[in-house]
């Protein structure tokens, strides 16, 4: 699952002129480590929902990769 | 005695009120357009233009050449200035006097029009400072500055802080951790921002007692969000503002229900909000009542309480910024591989609405390639974040693109 998420995160990064990441880990922060702003996070939610059917921010926003994995593995 | 700080920039540089006055006195060039990436310099330019009584045009620094062109602004205008000297600002009172007496001074801003072309809106100083409250109560306010300094909400916060000689801490475009660090470090008391800005501060399990006032505006109020905000900022009072680039702040409330308290400036007709032209920027004076395009639903006939439900035009609110789908479609169709495009907004939990483009290609084109191309044409928030490649876009009987109904 983390690899699917890595591909989505890299897709968002590359679409916005950022370089892709070799690896991601559970404790990485979406804003501080990936440099995602509100528009990037919005794009991420739609792309994750398309892939998994889950709206990860439906209740509230999350901070880390681990928190996303927890939501999409439920 | 408290430090007389006017502004703390993103890199932590502190500018005092003394420095502000020194910079105004040392200015030798007065530009007609403010096209500047630096918030402190924007503030200096605004105040200097007031002191010299010269009108100012305020532009987003991320406008592309194409956008500047469509606003009717050429590059020469951006660099045109007049020489100034010898009008010393002696003390802070001098600045206040100029603001109070230079009633003819105007500030021009731009907003997405409803017809495809961006709209120029010119405000008088009275309009911009209409909601400013000056009193001893506000003497020690410390403002977290979270709006774009070239937009009306940012300008209103700037005047509120300046006229009370408050400190402004720049929070615009900072990430969550940096925002909280600054709230704590500078003991910020007031923040005015969009729901998107506040959503980006979530989740957090700490609380920040220094905040006394949270103001939300620019997007539809988010009730769940407000509960979370009051948990994080337990000493804060919450205010929701309805405002527009054309009129500035118009209505306020403590939740998502509004009431018209002054029927001379606002009215509801056929479930739509109209604003009296006395509140509207100077170049929009042709109509007596300005049609906001905002549709409302009356909740209580007796009290007149209402909520905003949607808009009657195509403008899409993206995190507090208005995007016009026609302008974006036109930019997409300029790409040599694209035959047709339709842009629409899909509700999104982070930014209210996310822009989606359905495109029909003439020859092959990737999402990355198209978005890269659009970056040279449009401001970032106008670039669709999702591109759906399709073979056909539905048309109306008259051959226009059928707008997507959500």
Q: CA B321, B105, B261, B241 torsion: positive or negative?
A: positive
The interface pTM score, or ipTM, of the predicted complex is 0.95
B200 to A31: CB separation less than 8 angstroms, yes or no = yes
Residues of B in contact with A61 (CB under 8 A): 199-200, 202-203, 349-350
User: Which residues 6+ apart lie within 8 Å of B10 measured at CB?
Assistant: B170, B172, B173, B174
Instruction: For B389-406, write each residue's pLDDT tens digit.
Output: 999 998 777 777 777 655
Of B69, B29, B52, B8, residue with least CA distance to B331: B69
Residues in chain A within 8 Å Cβ distance of B371: 15-16
Calculate how close chain B gets to A39, using CA atoms only, in Å: 7
pLDDT of residue B342: 95
The predicted-structure confidence for B84-135, as pLDDT tens digits, reads as follows 987 778 899 999 999 999 989 999 998 876 666 678 889 999 889 988 999 9
pLDDT at B1 over 50: no
Give this prediction's pTM: 0.92
* Chain B residues near residue A55 by CB distance under 8 angstroms: 349
Tell me if B196 and A38 make a contact (CB, 8 A cut-off). Answer: yes
Q: Give the whole-angstrom CA distance, residue B381 versus residue B198.
A: 18
The per-residue pLDDT for B283 is 55
Q: Is B381 on the interface with A (CB under 8 A)?
A: yes
Is the dihedral angle over the CA atoms B140, B236, B162, B146 positive or is it negative? Answer: positive
Of chain B, the percentage scoring pLDDT greater than 90 comes to 75
CA distances from B277 to A60, B25, B38, B123, B380 (A): 40, 36, 33, 12, 32
């Amino acid at each position: 699952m983390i690899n699917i998420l890595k591909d989505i995160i890299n897709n968002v990064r590359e679409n916005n002129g950022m370089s892709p990441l070799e690896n991601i880990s559970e404790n990485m922060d979406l804003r501080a480590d990936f440099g995602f702003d509100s528009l990037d996070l919005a794009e991420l939610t739609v792309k994750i929902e398309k892939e998994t059917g889950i709206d990860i921010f439906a209740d509230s926003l999350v901070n880390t990769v681990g928190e996303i994995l927890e939501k999409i593995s439920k | 005695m408290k430090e007389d700080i006017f502004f703390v920039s993103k890199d932590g540089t502190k500018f005092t009120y003394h420095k502000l006055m020194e910079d105004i006195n040392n200015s030798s060039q007065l530009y007609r357009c403010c096209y500047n990436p630096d918030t402190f310099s924007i503030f200096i330019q605004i105040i200097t233009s007031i002191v010299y009584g010269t009108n100012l045009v305020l532009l987003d620094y991320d406008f592309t050449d194409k956008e500047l062109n469509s606003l009717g602004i050429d590059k020469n205008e951006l660099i045109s200035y007049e020489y100034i000297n010898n009008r010393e600002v002696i003390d802070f009172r001098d600045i206040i006097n100029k603001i109070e007496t230079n009633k003819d001074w105007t500030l021009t801003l731009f907003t997405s029009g409803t017809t495809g072309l961006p709209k120029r809106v010119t405000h008088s100083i009275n309009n911009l400072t209409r909601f400013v409250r000056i009193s001893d109560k506000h003497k020690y306010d410390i403002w977290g500055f979270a709006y774009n300094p070239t937009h009306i909400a940012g300008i209103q916060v700037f005047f509120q802080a300046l006229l009370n000689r408050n400190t402004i801490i720049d929070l615009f475009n900072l990430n969550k951790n940096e925002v909280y660090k600054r709230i704590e470090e500078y003991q910020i008391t007031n923040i005015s921002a969009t729901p998107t800005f506040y959503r980006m501060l979530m989740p957090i399990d700490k609380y920040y007692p220094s905040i006394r006032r949270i103001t939300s505006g620019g997007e539809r109020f988010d009730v769940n969000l407000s509960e979370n905000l009051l948990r994080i900022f337990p000493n804060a009072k919450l205010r929701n503002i309805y405002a527009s680039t054309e009129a500035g702040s118009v209505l306020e409330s403590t939740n998502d229900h509004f009431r018209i308290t002054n029927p001379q400036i606002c009215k509801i007709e056929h479930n739509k909000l109209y604003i009296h032209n006395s509140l509207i920027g100077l170049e929009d004076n042709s109509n007596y009542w300005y049609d906001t395009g905002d549709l409302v639903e009356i909740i209580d006939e007796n009290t007149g309480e209402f909520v905003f439900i949607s808009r009657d035009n195509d403008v899409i609110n993206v995190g507090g910024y208005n995007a016009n789908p026609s302008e974006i479609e036109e930019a997409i169709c300029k790409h040599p591989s694209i035959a047709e495009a339709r842009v629409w907004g899909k509700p999104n939990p982070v930014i209210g609405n996310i822009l989606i483009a359905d495109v029909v290609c003439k020859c092959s084109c990737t999402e990355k390639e198209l978005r890269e191309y659009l970056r040279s044409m449009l401001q970032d928030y106008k670039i669709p974040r999702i591109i759906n490649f399709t073979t056909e876009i539905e048309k109306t009987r008259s051959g226009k693109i059928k707008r997507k109904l959500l």
